[in-house]
Amino acid sequence: MLWLFLIIFVPGGALAVLWLVGERGHVILPSTRAAIRQGRGNATRGTAVRAVHGYVYARWPYQYIKFYISRLLPHMSAGFKRWWADHYHGKVLPTELACEIIRLDHDIRRTDLDQVIPYPMARDIVLNSSPAVTLLECPCRHARENPCQPTDVCMIVGGGDFVLEHHPGRSRRVTQREALDLLRAEHERGHVHTAYFKDACDDRFYAICNCCSCCCGGLEAMVEHGVPMVASSGYVAQVDESACIACGDCEAACPFHAISLNGKSAVDWEKCMGCGVCAGRCEMDAVTLMLDERKGVPLDVRTIGVPASAC
């Protein structure tokens, strides 16, 4: 019964029990030790539960995401959909803004950014500068029978030690240059850059995911099941009808089914998330992204960020 006592009564005890299961008696890894220390410092049951959730998510991401996609997502109630989105959600990033996060050379902490991340959980944005990025094999693509390639496209920014230590065969460090090249390559493949925030990760920015509509659990949740998982980039696609030749490339490429073709391409304002995939596919340069304050404020570190020391 020691394990039950630890989980209920000892701050961080649940993390210690999970370590016994997750590490299976091996020498405790430094990143796990840090997670247990953080769990012990949590004073309330709610924060302790989040610490446990964070460990489970990071330690077993492939099992976690597969369960979510195959078992949980198809059976969510309306209330649970809202709850889930409030605790685990993303902000769409055009390629330029995704690259700026990778180039970030100082820590950023800003509060009360409801227009940027309009969810109850994300009142703070914490972005950590890092000379390197950790790539992880995408759990969503891993869960599919015939996933899109490449699969190592989840970009852990400003950290990644836990991932590297616990998933050495599925993760690797890359340089800033390599990360920027990957972002551009994923954009050319028609994939969406999404900055993900999770309450399991201390309410902080966690990763840039490069999402395809056929594999990504977050996009599937939003498009197919109506879970409000993704916030608009703050931009909306606009079509220059004089340049549009009605080729249909933008319609086929849009991961949110926001473009239809009826003589000319037309954008559904409600569905458009401002990812820029359509603009990247238009050979006639007939599609551009336009700022739209009704869609929220872009996650642009050049304009919202100040050094952490100045906060």
Q: What is the CATH number of the domain that holds 268?
A: 3.30.70.20
pLDDT at 218: 92
> 19 near 38, Cβ under 8 Å?
no
- Angstrom distance (rounded) from CA 14 to CA 84: 22
Full residue range of the structural domain in which residue 25 is found? 2-59
Question: For every one of its 311 residues, what pLDDT tens digit does the chain have, with 9 covering 90 and above?
Answer: 333 334 444 444 555 555 555 555 555 777 667 666 655 555 454 566 777 777 788 888 999 999 999 999 999 999 999 888 888 888 999 999 999 999 988 887 777 677 787 777 666 677 777 777 999 999 999 999 999 999 999 999 877 888 898 899 999 999 999 999 999 999 999 999 999 887 656 556 778 999 999 999 999 999 999 998 899 999 999 999 999 999 999 999 999 999 999 899 999 999 999 999 999 999 999 999 999 999 999 999 888 755 444 43
Please tell me whether residues 223 and 287 are part of one structural domain: no
Same domain for 173 and 302, yes or no, is yes
Same domain, 45 and 189: no
Report phi then psi at 41, rounded to 5. -80, -10
pTM: 0.84
Answer yes or no: do 223 and 108 share one domain.
yes
Establish if 96 belongs to a structural domain. Answer: yes
- Asked if 156 and 207 touch (Cβ cutoff 8 Å), the reply is yes
Pairing of β 88-93 and β 230-231: parallel
Same domain as 257, residue 114 = no
Do residues 250 and 181 both lie within one domain?
Answer: no
In a domain, 227, yes or no: yes
The Cβ-side half-sphere exposure at 179, using a 13 Å CA radius, reads 29
Does 239 reside within a domain? Answer: yes
Task: Note the pLDDT of residue 36.
Answer: 63
- Quote the pLDDT of residue 20: 52
Answer yes or no: do 121 and 168 share one domain. yes
In a domain, 93, yes or no: yes
Judge if 30 and 159 occupy the same domain: no
Looking at the structure, tell me whether residues 198 and 102 fall in a common domain: yes
24 and 151 belong to one structural domain = no
Q: Is residue 210 part of a domain?
A: yes
Whole-angstrom distance, CA of residue 7 vs CA of residue 21: 13
Q: Is residue 271 part of a domain?
A: yes
Question: Do the domain assignments include residue 126?
Answer: yes
Residue 308's pLDDT is: 43
* CB-based contacts of 286, cutoff 8 Å, min separation 6: 239, 240, 241, 243, 244, 245, 265
Number of domains in the chain: 3
Yes or no: say if 198 and 91 are a contact pair by the CB < 8 Å rule.
Answer: no
Strands (DSSP E) found in 94-214: 108-111, 124-127, 132-136, 154-157, 171-175, 192-198, 204-211
Q: Is residue 66 part of a domain?
A: no
Query: Both 222 and 122 in a single domain?
Result: yes
Cα gap 292→290, rounded to integer Å: 6
Under 8 Å CB-to-CB from 77, ≥6 apart: which residues? none
Cα distance between residue 257 and residue 272, in whole Å: 8
The two three-digit tokens of residue 55, written as one number: 């460990």
Both 147 and 284 in a single domain?
A: no
For residue 259, give Cα distances in angstroms to 54, 91, 140, 239, 272: 37, 20, 25, 10, 8
